[in-house]
């Protein structure tokens, strides 16, 4: 199935510089910025710069360079935020919502990095 990317979504506007953001890290293919409504002391969103709707879209259609850059950017933000378990931090959670059942609000792939407090058990 081909995804249709809506370039009017809010993260596309952030990437074009039309809306300000609190950038944590920018790389060749990725941008990380603080969530506007943080759910934890650390709540950073990491997005690819390319027009990918959700995780599977990106994983199946992005170039290897984009995938490596994005994967590393997520790791780098965890390091910068000091949440790496056993490496000065206490751990974190990654969330990538997709589509209606996943309750994805913004149709541009983003991984939430949450940490800085006990997050509780999500899956029973």
What is the set of active-site residues? 110
Q: CA-CA distance, 113 to 94, in Å (whole number)?
A: 5
Supply 8's token pair: 């009017």
- Collapse the DSSP code of 26 into the 3-class scheme (helix H, G, I; strand E, B; otherwise coil) and give the result: strand
Confirm or reject binding of residue 35 to ligand 5GP (CB under 6 A): yes
Smaller CB separation from ligand 5GP, 59 or 68: 59
Smaller CB separation from ligand 5GP, 37 or 87: 37
Nearest to 31 by CA among 102, 108, 100, 122: 108
Tell me which residues in 56-85 interact with ligand 5GP (CB under 6 A): none
What is the nearest approach in angstroms of ligand 5GP to the Cβ of residue 22? 7
Number of residues that bind ligand 5GP (CB under 6 A): 13
Cβ-count burial of 36 within 10 angstroms (0-12 exposed, 13-18 middle, 19+ buried)?
A: exposed
Interface residues with ligand 5GP (CB under 6 A) are: 10, 19, 21, 33-37, 97, 103-106
């Amino acid at each position: 199935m081909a995804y249709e990317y809506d370039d009017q979504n809010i993260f596309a506007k952030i990437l074009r510089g039309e809306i300000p953001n609190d950038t944590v890290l920018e790389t060749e293919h990725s941008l990380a910025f603080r969530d506007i409504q943080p759910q934890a002391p650390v709540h950073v969103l990491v997005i690819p710069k390319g027009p990918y709707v959700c995780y599977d879209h990106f994983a199946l259609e992005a170039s290897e360079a984009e995938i490596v850059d994005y994967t590393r950017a997520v790791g780098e933000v965890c390091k910068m935020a000091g949440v790496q378990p056993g490496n000065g931090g206490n751990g974190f959670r990654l969330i990538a919502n997709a589509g209606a059942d996943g309750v994805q609000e913004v149709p541009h792939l983003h991984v939430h990095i949450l940490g800085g407090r006990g997050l509780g058990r999500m899956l029973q």
